[in-house]
Structure 1
């Protein structure tokens, strides 16, 4: 049995049900839905953590019946690079990104403003929006499963399945290993820092959406701490990535070039910086429109950056593939985020009533 694939499915079902029950709690104010939602959230988060541990185990052991392991690990790789292969491909990247979202939701519930506002409608709706985002990532994991496995078909030719838990595995005698450009010290640092920063943008976005829906200015108390976290990790990630590019790609002795993916990670850093500056004025009842707009746009730009990386529509050293089903899901997600954010901002700040 493909245990990892089962864990992804369990996490996906738990995450979706956690979102739906949290929404029911917000709408009906029945605490049994909140209790159930928190248990389902825990199950989803635990499933993702176990999946990460299991994938690392397979990468270290070079278990090449799994297509992700075959593509990114090999026996000639040092152990540090086999571990770093966890985020060398988009399946692993989505996996740790989703894990970070669940982790941050848990931290929010028990610390800071989240602990203070935990019983409010504002927190309930913020949690629902965050779980909706997590559900989208879980859907992407189901479509691009990190535990997809090679198996024999009836014709005797190996194929890949991402749904058959009980397929007879076909073990490849060797792994392709990691892209030579990724076999670098910075590979262990740069990507996870970026994914931490990207994941942390989820909470300010969810808080801003909730504040606009409920017309509750306390949303910034929930958002600002995580915006600082996002800014910090994105700063470190972009900086270390520049050193990596200088060492490996040698962009004419420059640390930076306007590569599409590189640039698309810089733009949300700029909006996060603007948010942190605007927050000071927001305390004095200024920049009422600017602050939620920046919180929303920052996350939307992160999703756009993800789309750029995974769609293959722009030529970049960071791009992974051509436009596929996963790219279509991200594009649709991007449209939903942009459309809902625009509607709520216009309704609050530009409607005549």
Structure 2
């Protein structure tokens, strides 16, 4: 996420702070200083930092359970409205989604339990006074963690409770129908929250906007992943593409760039094997830095994703998270096609128009 600062890394996941969170923290400090001086400002800032430390632990509850199912998260970003983990794919089974969703609130309840033991507040009469500002940092933090666990279990997609609802509906109705229902409930909750925000709670408006658009985005991502699982790469790949020979010059590559509409050009050897990838930017940069008769192969990307034509399209989706294009090659390494965001979008359009459509493209052995 842009405008973010990395403050650390744990289990392969970067922890980042968005600039808006720092502004939010400064606003909290200045507001408290105006009301109660330096001591109040320090206490409030420490309390907010402690809360968001718990939010990070909440997110890592999701992340560590997701890793057990082969789902990685490159980063978790702190925003004024909470933490956002960037996962590389959706869970494949409703049972996996259920466990991942419950992990975050479970972390908050564990933290709350530990803090309550720390302040000796297990007795009911002590619990009744924990929300009192005079009860101390640990007591208020315990109450906040209980609130975070309860609030996150609201059945509004993409909140944790919404994901639990989505998983439960998936076991009963199937994933696609479950996604549509969970997203609709999430957006309805966002509208209700936004309405309440009009009556003196502006932060609720920001949360409502986040939930509304996140529900839409998560639903689209989930539907795309579900559709892609039933389509082979060979059915979705682009095959009418122009390749560049490894022995071509920069001048040759420029001519091909002008003649072909594609954004990425596979580099192939004499046998048609895929050995590199050139973007339009790569070709233009080569033209700037070398003579027109210099070989273009020196400017090709050597580290790029490749997938087999028999794989399912969701595997290509995972690879597209890190690249603009995925090369498709057979066991012999011969280029067969490309998978791009455009080709996946076209599959989605076809499936949206005819969910029962069956692709029947015959396999290719070479593009040459």
TM-score tier (shorter): 0.3 to 0.5
Write 1 or 2 for the structure with the bigger share of strand: 2
Q: Which of the two has greater helix per residue?
A: 1
- Give the structure, 1 or 2, with the largest relative contact order (CA under 8 Å, sep 6 or more): 1
What's the TM-score, normalizing by structure 2?
Answer: 0.33
Q: Which structure's CA Rg is the greater one?
A: 2
When normalised by structure 1's length, the TM-score is 0.34
